[in-house]
């Protein structure tokens, strides 16, 4: 019985030593992947650029900034009368990389009743005129905000819809 326990203990220790040995061998002899940055042969490194931490941070921030659209738009447009200048309040912040244009329609209609024109970054539109003669009342609106490249204002980047209201007081 004593021999049987010793034999089990020896087998268990040998098994443990074997597992540790195999694990150590695999860890020490693992292969490091060969990464090729330009998709060609490893000898052509003309497309690879080493970046400092600061350059990488600036590069990533620039990519992040270009992927975001910023806008401040008052969703409540107010006009004393339809044929007078009213309050619209649209801001294209300096942090934006694109020009914006806001076109407003009455809910359920296709006709544009307000058009801001192109607003560049760091520009603010405080007042505007309606392109329709509306009666006194409060109207639900949908504004389409279109984003354009600054270098070529005909290149549309994207659109956003904003729901709001328009008040004509007289």
SS (H, E, C) 25-94: HHHHCCCCCCCCCCCCCCCCCCCCCCCCHHHHHHHHHHHHHHCCCCCEECCEEEECCCCCCEEEEEEECC
* Coil/strand/helix, residue 165: strand
- The residues facing 139 across adjacent strands are 166
CA distance 15 to 30: 22
Short-list 122, 117, 120, CA closest to 88: 117
Cβ atoms of residues 139 and 107 within 8 Å: yes
Longest dimension (CA), the chain: 108
Calculate Rg over the CA atoms of the chain. 33
Task: Take residue 83 and report the two structure tokens written for it.
Answer: 């044929």
Strand 99-106, strand 123-128: pairing: unpaired
Tokens of 49: 């650029």
pTM beyond 0.75: no
Q: Which residue has the higher pLDDT, 13 or 106?
A: 106
Distance CA 41, CA 37 (A): 9
* pLDDT (tens digit per residue) in 37-88: 555 555 666 666 788 888 888 887 777 766 666 778 888 999 999 899 999 9
| pLDDT tens by residue, 102-161 | 999 999 999 999 999 999 999 999 999 999 999 999 999 999 999 898 888 788 888 889
Residue-range domains of the chain with CATH: 70-168 (2.60.40.2550)
Reduced to 3 states (helix: H, G, I; strand: E, B; else coil), residue 145 is strand
């Amino acid at each position: 019985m004593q021999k049987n326990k010793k034999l089990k203990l020896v087998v268990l220790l040998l098994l443990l030593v074997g597992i540790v040995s195999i694990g150590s061998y695999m860890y020490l002899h693992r292969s490091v992947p060969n990464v090729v940055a330009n998709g060609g042969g490893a000898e052509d490194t003309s497309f690879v650029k080493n970046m400092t931490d600061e350059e990488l941070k600036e590069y990533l921030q620039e990519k992040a900034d270009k992927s975001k659209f910023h806008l401040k738009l008052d969703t409540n447009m107010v006009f004393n009368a339809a044929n007078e200048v009213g309050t619209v309040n649209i801001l294209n912040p300096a942090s934006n990389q694109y020009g914006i244009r806001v076109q407003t329609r009455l809910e359920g209609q296709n006709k544009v009743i307000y058009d801001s024109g192109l607003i560049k970054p760091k520009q603010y539109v405080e007042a505007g005129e309606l392109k329709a003669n509306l009666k006194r009342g409060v109207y639900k609106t949908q504004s389409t905000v279109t984003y354009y490249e600054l270098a070529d204002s005909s290149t549309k980047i994207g659109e956003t819809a904003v729901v709001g209201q328009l008040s004509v007081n007289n």
